C-alpha cells in the first residue's frame, strides 16, 4: 500500500498522505500534508485495506456510534472527526510533531563505543554492554521522572474515559503519543475506533496488541473491558519504567520447563507468575528494580495488578488510582546533573547510579487545612534549577483531579536576593503567603511576590483557599 495517497472524507475535504505514523493489527495511521491532521486506514487480517462490503459497513457503523459517546470535554483523544469516502477509515486531529511512545522511548543504542562509556556505567558495561547502552539511552530520554509524568497524563485520559463508563480497548505504546521525551510534553491517545461502553455486547471484539492484552483477552474468555484496559496500561507503564515486561522472566527466556508449550503464549495467558511475585521462579535478570523508578504506593499498584489481578481481574487497581500515584512518584524524583538519571531524593542521600550527593533542594509539602497532621502532596525542586521559571502544578494546591492535576498555578524563579512567585493564570484557588519573619506571620496576597532568600531559613507557607483548603510549607533541604 502506498503511503502517498489522495483521500477524500465524507464532507469532500481532500487530504494527501505523507508517510506512516504507525501500523497495527487493525489499521495504519498516516500523516498528511496538514501537520495537525492524521488519517486512520482500517486493514483486514492480511494487512490490506478493508475491502469486504459487510466489514466496511460494520466499521462505518462503529465510527458513527463513537460520535455519540459521552466523552469528557477537552479530552486529549484523537477521535474520528470525519469518515473517509472511498476507504474504510477516518480523519483525526493530532498535535503537530507528536510521536508515539514506541518511537520516542525506543532503545536506539545497540552498544556503546568503548571511548563513549560514561564513568557511572563502567561496571555495567564491563558485565553487560547491551544493558549499559540501554541505560544510557534511558537517561537521554528523560529517565524515570519524565516517564512518570507522561504516564500520569496517559493514565488521566484513561481514568476520565473510565469515569464515563467508556472502554479504550487496545492500549499499547503505538497509540499513546507525545511531543517528546521531556517532563512537560503533552500526551494524546489515538486509535479511538475501539471505544465502547463497558459491557456493550455489540462492541465486543478480541483485538489487542501482543504483549499488552489481559490474560482473559488472550484466552478468549472475555471481551475488552475496564479491567482489561487497566492491565494493558499497567504493562505499558511497567515496561516503560523498568525496561522489562512484567511476565517475561526466566521461565520464558530460558525455557526448559515444558517443551510442548510456547512460553511466551503461556505468559500472555496468565499461566506464569509475574517477575516480582513471591514465587520467584519467573524472576527477571534484566531491567531496573522497581524501587529505583517507582514509589512504594506505585509498587503496590503493580503488585496488586500483576499478582492477584493476573487471574482475578476485579483485583486490578482501577484507572482512577494510577494518575496520582505516578505524578506523586515524579514529584519526589529529581534529575541527577551527573548522569542524567532520576532518583528519589527522600529515600537516598546520593544518586544510586553515579553516587553524586544530593543537591540543595526546595521541599514544598502540601497539607490539608486546618488538619495539618499528614502530608497530602510533596514536591521537590533542586534550587539550582530555579534559574529558569518552574511551574508549580494544581495538584500541590488542591485535591487531585485527573482533569486538571497538571495545570500550572504558580511559577517560581530565582532572582537577585531571592525568588519570584507569580500566578500563571486565573484558574486555581486563591493563594496567600505568610512568612515567620515578616508582618507577624500574617498571610498576604500572593499574585506577583518576591520571596527573599532569608525567609526560607524560617517558616514560609502558602494557603490555598478552597474546600478543602491546603497549606503548602516551603523549606530548604541542604545538600548532602
Instruction: Pinpoint the alpha helices (H) of 141-188.
Output: 143-163
Residues 20 and 87 in one domain: yes
Q: What SS3 class is residue 294? A: coil
Tell which of 96, 130, 146 closes a domain. 96
258: domain CATH number? 1.10.510.10
Higher pLDDT, 206 or 465: 465
Residues 106 and 92 in one domain: no
User: pLDDT at position 203, please?
Assistant: 66
Residues 226 and 81 in one domain: no
User: pLDDT at position 96, please?
Assistant: 78
| Rounded mean pLDDT, 219-245 | 96
| Rounded mean pLDDT, 52-56 | 80
pLDDT in tens, 143-191: 999 999 999 999 999 999 999 999 998 899 988 999 999 999 999 998 8
Percent of the chain with pLDDT over 70: 97
Residues 277 and 314 in one domain: yes
- Rounded-to-integer distance, Cα 158 and Cα 229, Å: 8
- Rounded-to-integer distance, Cα 275 and Cα 246, Å: 6
Higher pLDDT, 8 or 24: 8
Residues 363 and 448 in one domain: yes
Q: What SS3 class is residue 450? A: strand
User: pLDDT at position 437, please?
Assistant: 75
- Rounded-to-integer distance, Cα 216 and Cα 260, Å: 22
- Rounded-to-integer distance, Cα 379 and Cα 406, Å: 13
423, 409 contact by CB (below 8 A): yes
170, 196 contact by CB (below 8 A): no
Residues 259 and 388 in one domain: no
Task: End-to-end CA distance of the chain: give it in Å, rounded.
Answer: 59
Place of cell 512484567: 246
Q: Which domain holds residue 64?
A: 6-96
Tell which of 59, 75, 96 closes a domain. 96
User: pLDDT at position 322, please?
Assistant: 98
Residue 418 placed within a domain: yes
Please list the residues that pair with 8 across neighbouring strands.
14
Residues 179 and 298 in one domain: yes
Residue 259 has pLDDT above 70, yes or no: no
pLDDT in tens, 89-108: 889 888 778 889 999 998 77
Residue 402 placed within a domain: yes
In this structure, what C-alpha cell is assigned to residue 256?
526448559
User: pLDDT at position 102, please?
Assistant: 92
Q: What SS3 class is residue 351? A: coil
- Rounded-to-integer distance, Cα 248 and Cα 230, Å: 19
Residues 6+ apart with CB under 8 A from 161: 71, 72, 75, 77, 167, 168, 195, 319
Evaluated on CA atoms 154, 156, 160, 165, the torsion sign reads: positive
Residues 119 and 79 in one domain: no
- Rounded-to-integer distance, Cα 476 and Cα 480, Å: 12
| Helix or strand (DSSP H, E) at 215 | helix 215-219
Residue 333 placed within a domain: no
Residue 334 placed within a domain: no
Q: What SS3 class is residue 262? A: coil
Nearest one of 467, 474, 359, 328 to 410, comparing CA atoms: 474
Tell which of 38, 67, 96 closes a domain. 96
| pTM of the predicted protein model | 0.94
pLDDT in tens, 360-400: 999 999 999 888 778 899 999 999 999 999 999 999 999 99
Q: How confident is the model at residue 3 (pLDDT cuts 50, 70, 90)?
A: low
pLDDT in tens, 194-229: 888 998 876 666 678 999 999 999 999 999 999 999
- Rounded-to-integer distance, Cα 220 and Cα 268, Å: 12
Please list the residues that pair with 418 across neighbouring strands.
415, 452
Residues 6+ apart with CB under 8 A from 154: 176, 187, 189, 233, 236
Place of cell 482501577: 318
Residue 298 has pLDDT above 90, yes or no: yes
| Rounded mean pLDDT, 320-337 | 98
User: How long a stretch of residues is the chain?
Assistant: 480
Number of domains composing the chain:
3
Residue 166 placed within a domain: yes
In this structure, what C-alpha cell is assigned to residue 124?
555495567
How many H-runs (helices) and E-runs (strands) does the chain carry? 12, 23
Residues 149 and 265 in one domain: yes
Higher pLDDT, 406 or 254: 406
Residues 108 and 196 in one domain: yes
Residues 143 and 108 in one domain: yes
User: pLDDT at position 105, please?
Assistant: 92
- Mean pLDDT score of the chain: 90
382: domain CATH number? 2.60.200.20
Residue 228 placed within a domain: yes
Please list the residues that pair with 90 across neighbouring strands.
40, 83
User: pLDDT at position 15, please?
Assistant: 93
Residue 353 placed within a domain: no
User: pLDDT at position 256, please?
Assistant: 55
Residue 338 placed within a domain: no
Residue 59 has pLDDT above 80, yes or no: no
Residues 210 and 314 in one domain: yes
Higher pLDDT, 4 or 478: 478
Q: How confident is the model at residue 25 (pLDDT cuts 50, 70, 90)?
A: low
In this structure, what C-alpha cell is assigned to residue 174?
503505538
358-386 burial string, b = 16+ CB within 10 Å, else e? bbebbbbbbbebeeeeeebbebbbbbebb
Amino acid at each position: 500500500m502506498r503511503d502517498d495517497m489522495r483521500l477524500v472524507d465524507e464532507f469532500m475535504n481532500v487530504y494527501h498522505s505523507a508517510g506512516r505514523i504507525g501500523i497495527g493489527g487493525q489499521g495504519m495511521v498516516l500523516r498528511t500534508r496538514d501537520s495537525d491532521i492524521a488519517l486512520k486506514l482500517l486493514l483486514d487480517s492480511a494487512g490490506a485495506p478493508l475491502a469486504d462490503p459487510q466489514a466496511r459497513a460494520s466499521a462505518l457503523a462503529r465510527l458513527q456510534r463513537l460520535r455519540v459517546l459521552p466523552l469528557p470535554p477537552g479530552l486529549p483523544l484523537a477521535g474520528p472527526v470525519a469518515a473517509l469516502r472511498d476507504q474504510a477509515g477516518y480523519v483525526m486531529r493530532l498535535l503537530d510533531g507528536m510521536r508515539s511512545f514506541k518511537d520516542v522511548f525506543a532503545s536506539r543504542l545497540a552498544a556503546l563505543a568503548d571511548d563513549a562509556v560514561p564513568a557511572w556505567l563502567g561496571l555495567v558495561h564491563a558485565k553487560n554492554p547491551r544493558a549499559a547502552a540501554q541505560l544510557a539511552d534511558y537517561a537521554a530520554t528523560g529517565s524515570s521522572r519524565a516517564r512518570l509524568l507522561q504516564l500520569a497524563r496517559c493514565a488521566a485520559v484513561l481514568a476520565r474515559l473510565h469515569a464515563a463508563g467508556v472502554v479504550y480497548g487496545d492500549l499499547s505504546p503505538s497509540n499513546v503519543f507525545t511531543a517528546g521525551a521531556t517532563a512537560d510534553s503533552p500526551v494524546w491517545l489515538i486509535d479511538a475506533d475501539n471505544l465502547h461502553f463497558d459491557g456493550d455486547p455489540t462492541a465486543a471484539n478480541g483485538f489487542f496488541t501482543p504483549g499488552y492484552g489481559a490474560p482473559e483477552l488472550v484466552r478468549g474468555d472475555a471481551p475488552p473491558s475496564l479491567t482489561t484496559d487497566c492491565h494493558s496500561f499497567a504493562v505499558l507503564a511497567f515496561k516503560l519504567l523498568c525496561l522489562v515486561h512484567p511476565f517475561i522472566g526466566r521461565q520464558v527466556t530460558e525455557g526448559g520447563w515444558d517443551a510442548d508449550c510456547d512460553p511466551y503464549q503461556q505468559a500472555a495467558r496468565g499461566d506464569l507468575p509475574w517477575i516480582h511475585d513471591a514465587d520467584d521462579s519467573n524472576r527477571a535478570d534484566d531491567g531496573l528494580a522497581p524501587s529505583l523508578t517507582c514509589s512504594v504506593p506505585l509498587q503496590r499498584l503493580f503488585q496488586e495488578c500483576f499478582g492477584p489481578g493476573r487471574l482475578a481481574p476485579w483485583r486490578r487497581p482501577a484507572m482512577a488510582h494510577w494518575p496520582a500515584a505516578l505524578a506523586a512518584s515524579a514529584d519526589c524524583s529529581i534529575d541527577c546533573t551527573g548522569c542524567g538519571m532520576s532518583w528519589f531524593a527522600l529515600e537516598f542521600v546520593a544518586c544510586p547510579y553515579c553516587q553524586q550527593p544530593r543537591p540543595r533542594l526546595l521541599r514544598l509539602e502540601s497539607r490539608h487545612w486546618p488538619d495539618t497532621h499528614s502530608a497530602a502532596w510533596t514536591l521537590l525542586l533542586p534550587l539550582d534549577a530555579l534559574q529558569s521559571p518552574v511551574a508549580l502544578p494544581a495538584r500541590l494546591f488542591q485535591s487531585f483531579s485527573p482533569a486538571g492535576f497538571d495545570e500550572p498555578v504558580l511559577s517560581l524563579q530565582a532572582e537577585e536576593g531571592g525568588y519570584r512567585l507569580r500566578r500563571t493564570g486565573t484558574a486555581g484557588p486563591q493563594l496567600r503567603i505568610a512568612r515567620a519573619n515578616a508582618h507577624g506571620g500574617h498571610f498576604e496576597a500572593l499574585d506577583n511576590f518576591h520571596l527573599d532568600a532569608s525567609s526560607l531559613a524560617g517558616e514560609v507557607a502558602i494557603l490555598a483557599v478552597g474546600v478543602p483548603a491546603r497549606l503548602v510549607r516551603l523549606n530548604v533541604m541542604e545538600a548532602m
